[in-house]
Chains A and B, each alone.
Chain A
Amino acid sequence: MTSRIIGLDQRYAASASLVRHGVEIIAVRDELGARFDSATRGLFRLIQRDGPGVWDHLAGAAKALRWRLITDPMPIERNAQLTAAAGEVGRQALRLIGAVNEDVLLREIADAAAALCARDPLVGAVLLESLAEVGVDSAIVVAASSRSRETLGEWLGSLGVRVLTLGDLELADVSEDIAYFVGPPRFFKPTAVTAPRTLEVTFILPAWFGDRNVPRSAIAQYAEGGIQVAARIVEVGDAWPASLEPGMSETESIPEEDLLPQPVWGSRVSEDRAPNADEVEARKILLSGNRAIWLDDDGERIRALDPTQPPGERVGYSEVPAVAPGTYLLLREGEAERESLHARAFTRIGPRASAIQESQASWKSALIDRLGARGIRDSERALRALGVRAAGQVRAWASPHVIRPQSDGDFERLLGWLGLPVQPYFGHASLLRHEVHRATRELRDRLEAAADVADLHELDRVGHMTLDIAEPGFRGMFVTRVLAIAPFTELVARHDARVPFADEGAQWLE
């Protein structure tokens, strides 16, 4: 084990080295792959014209084969993934021949796919050459997914090369000088270049893949010392027929994004109007375990579990905009967490509960009226002028889920601005906040304890698990990985938001 500080020192050195020298991108010209890519783009131009539907299965198979060509460049004899994916494209194309009037294109796709199995992928050959050149002890190979890590590992492992995912690399002790990433930069998280583990980084990809952008750190644009990494592009491989050059006008209309495997979301079914009082704008979130939720963003955080954190600090919250594929959400069968916490708090408060509910409803309705009359921006300005420090949160304060402004001073000034006396509103809201915080802390302690005894590797492998908490009021909690987030919102009933339901939409993504 390298000392922690030496390891950290290497991270600073590696990051500085990439900023100074950039990364290398080896673009491998591969006639056979380029032919299939070109046929696939032809198919997608048809889909742009005709809409999906009949083409869905072929399009899905073609995307999958394209992906394999990039991420799994093993020799054909040990590349069952590639031959299977090519076979599936052939089957789907032949199924459509005669059914739709595009025989030439369909035959070309099927032939181009079959031809891929006639020669070992050139990307793989170039990777082997590079490894031999620098020496297998000095290089590490980074795969785009854990599935590719297995297949590449079987192939390269016998040579003594380590094959890792980017996630593995982050946790590993690294003494190698150079990392070869199999795939374009966009197939990896920006950490690949903004927090490198090696002094040199090289991406190897087929030349027909059009997107060679290197990501930069999210604050680089405005930062002093910005972590911006340049790329040197080296082309190798087949002689390149001019007509197949990527980035030519005919290919520009289809962005790489559309050619990568992704969920099919359809389009928005809700009316195009503002939500009424009982509705919220929410995105559908597909979750591991064939579940989904509607997630609204009313300013309230959602409970999340971070398996990378140490025991006792894994259970926390995520801001709604921060929820992304890979986030683990902690949900409860049949109801949203906030309802159960508020119910628990009110139970403890006892006879004064109804008075508190009324007083909360009353100042919030005064706030909603005021926001409606003056507009949000004007209200924010007025509050700021009164010395309300968190005035930007004013819209969130109107939500029934946000109990009160954090700061006492802000809350008093807000009540004053609404023309309301400080009491009883202040006292009631503060008592409710105190009890909800207490219920939240109790729940967190239970969840932390359950997470400590749970097998979190299982969570990594399977994507979801139930947390075993027997106590009444805490039953039915489970952790699940976010698989995908819909690109648009729908109007859904407020009481349906954040309540998990069964959904098969993500099945194929797992």
Chain B
Amino acid sequence: MSEAGSRSGPNVLLSLAENPDSEPVQSAWIGPILALGTRLARRADDFSGRQLIIAISVPSREYAAALVGTGWTLGRAPVQTTIDPLTVLRGALPRAHYRAVNATHVISGPFQGLDETRPPARVTLAGHWAVDRMEGVAPVAEGDPAEKMPRPTIGSIGRLTGVDRDWVRRLVAPAADLAIVGTKSWISDDLEAVLARGDDPDGDALATLLLPRTEKSATWFSRIYSSSGFADQLPLPDDVSLTILDGQGAIRYLNDVLSPIVVCVFDRSVADESAAEQVMQLRNSRGEPIALSTQLGWAPPAGVEALGFTVAL
């Protein structure tokens, strides 16, 4: 069971529904696949200096990469900086990019001025906003694709994992260090699924938990790349900590991916052994095997096999 799950009793299974309108299905493989991502997020620094490569094989690729990625984003702490709006904005540099969250929106843009001449203080940041309505503000290194988006809300999984307690901080200052490479439209379909604890009626869309960067993002937790055009987009940004290679087509790029952690998700329903051979060759020639059960504290559920090793970067 996931670390998150074990906190609320070992017998509660996670459920997944194809979309908000379909019936949730509780099953024993969902929690452990999510938990792999969470374990990795918490042990990310244990293997520093070497690249950690995890290979898991699943009966079909569906949801596996999205769940590992979700576990990772849930387990990654946001940036520990002050997000008190007035404090941050008083020290803000002109034209530097900031994100802000109020009750309904996430706002992102270059800082253009703070007006405290009469209360309430107002800030110009992709529009004019009342500072006392803001719940959090943080600087962002690079501008976001959109100036404004509806504020994502969190339910069942937020309570289960405790991310509801620092959700505002996560929205303005996320770790944002996850990349998923695979068949983009399949991953997009996967992200419509709704994850919940047991019978909770307020499950969370994987798209909310993973918050992929799109044209409409004013904040984001992850980046998704299509493996068909991936060769032309290399190298990956340096700030990626975990790359999930979803399926054999993506795993072929393993040698080009230099992030500290890589998870390869093998789809056993696809008859293509060459990507597996490539990974096994890397393991056997340059890898130092690690025991997932003892060193990561994680064991695969039935129907899933997994191995891990590290290589010098």
Which residues of chain A have C-beta atoms less than 8 A from B29's C-beta? Answer: 9, 12
CA distance A315 to B226 in the complex (A): 11
Interface residues on B, range: 35 or more
> Are A322's CB and B274's CB within 8 A?
yes
**Is B62 part of the binding interface, using a Cβ–Cβ cutoff of 8 Å?**
yes
Q: Residues of B contacting A16 with CB < 8 Å?
A: 302-303
Given contacts A14-B59, A225-B300, A441-B232, contact A313 B226 (CB under 8 A): yes
Contact (A195, B185) CB under 8 Å given A3-B23, A222-B283, A301-B231: no
User: Cβ of B300 and Cβ of A219 under 8 Å apart?
Assistant: no
Q: Choose, from B142-150, B171-179, B263-271, the stretch at the interface.
A: B263-271
Contacts of A129 in B (CB 8 A): none
Decide yes or no whether B27 CB sits under 8 A from chain A: yes
Surface stretch bound by A, among B88-96, B211-219, B249-257: B249-257
Could you say which residues of chain B place their CB within 8 Å of the CB of A308?
Answer: 270
Q: Closest residue of chain A to B23, judged by CB?
A: A3
Q: How far is the CB of A135 from chain B (nearest CB, A)?
A: 25
- Given A195-B59, A195-B268, A313:B228 Cβ within 8 A: yes
Q: Is A101 engaged at the interface, CB distance under 8 Å to the other chain? A: no
Pick from A12, A306, A437: contact of B303, CB below 8 A. A12
A390 and B185 CA atoms in complex are apart in Å by: 30
Q: Does A386 contact B (CB under 8 A)?
A: no
Q: Mark A191-235, 1 if CB is under 8 A from B, else 0.
A: 100111000000000000000000001111011111100000000
* Range class of the A interface residue count: 35 or more
* A219→B59 contact, CB < 8 A: no
A3 to B185 CA separation, bound complex (whole angstroms):
18
Q: Chain B residues with Cβ under 8 A from A437's Cβ?
A: 232
Check A318 against B252 for contact (C-beta < 8 Å): yes
Determine whether the beta carbon of B228 is less than 8 Å from that of A319: no
**Residue A440 interfacial (CB < 8 Å):** yes
Contacts of A217 on B, CB cut-off 8 Å?
57, 266, 268, 276, 305
Tell me if A316 and B302 are in contact (CB < 8 A). no
Distance between Cα atoms of A326 and B75 in the complex (Å):
41
What CA separation (Å) do A80 and B200 show in the bound complex?
60
Whether B86 is near chain A, meaning CB under 8 Å from some CB there, is no
Contacts of B269 in A (CB 8 A): 11, 170, 191, 195
Q: Is the CB of A191 within 8 A of B270?
A: yes
Contacts known (A4-B62, A322-B275); A222 close to B280, Cβ less than 8 A: yes
Is B57 touching A316 in the complex (CB atoms < 8 A)? no
Q: Assuming the A-B contacts A317-B231, A322-B272, are A195 and B25 also in contact, with contact meaning beta carbons closer than 8 angstroms in the complex?
A: no
Check A194–B268 contact: CB distance below 8 A.
yes
Interface members, chain B 277-305 (any A CB < 8 Å)? 277-280, 283, 286, 289, 291-293, 299-305
Q: Known contacts A3-B18, A195-B268, A444-B228; is A12 also within 8 Å of B258 by CB?
A: no
A5-B231 in contact given A191-B271, A313-B185, A322-B252 (Cβ < 8 Å): no
Q: Is the CB of A8 within 8 A of B278?
A: no
* CB nearest to A408 among chain B residues: B235
Contact between B306 and A224, CB atoms less than 8 A apart = yes
Q: Is B60 an interface residue (CB 8 A)?
A: yes
Residue of B nearest to A322 (CB): B274
How does the 8 Å CB contact mask read for B231-242 relative to A, with 1 for contact and 0 for none? 110110000000
Q: Is B193 an interface residue (CB 8 A)?
A: yes
Using CB atoms, name the residue of chain B closest to A14: B59
Contact indicator B266/A219 (Cβ below 8 Å): yes
Q: Is B141 an interface residue (CB 8 A)?
A: no
Measured CA separation A401–B184 after assembly (Å): 28
Interface of B toward A, CB cutoff 8 Å: 16-18, 22-23, 25, 27, 29, 55, 57-60, 62-63, 183-186, 193, 226-232, 234-235, 248-249, 252, 255-256, 258, 266-280, 283, 286, 289, 291-293, 299-307, 312-313
New A-B pairs, 5, CB < 8 Å, besides A12-B58, A15-B268, A444-B232:
A219-B279, A227-B303, A324-B274, A389-B313, A444-B228
Enumerate 12 A-B pairs (CB-CB under 8 Å) in ascending A order: A5-B22, A11-B269, A13-B303, A16-B303, A191-B271, A219-B276, A301-B252, A309-B228, A313-B184, A321-B278, A384-B312, A444-B228
Closest 6 CB pairs of A and B: A218-B276, A16-B302, A189-B271, A322-B274, A316-B228, A195-B268
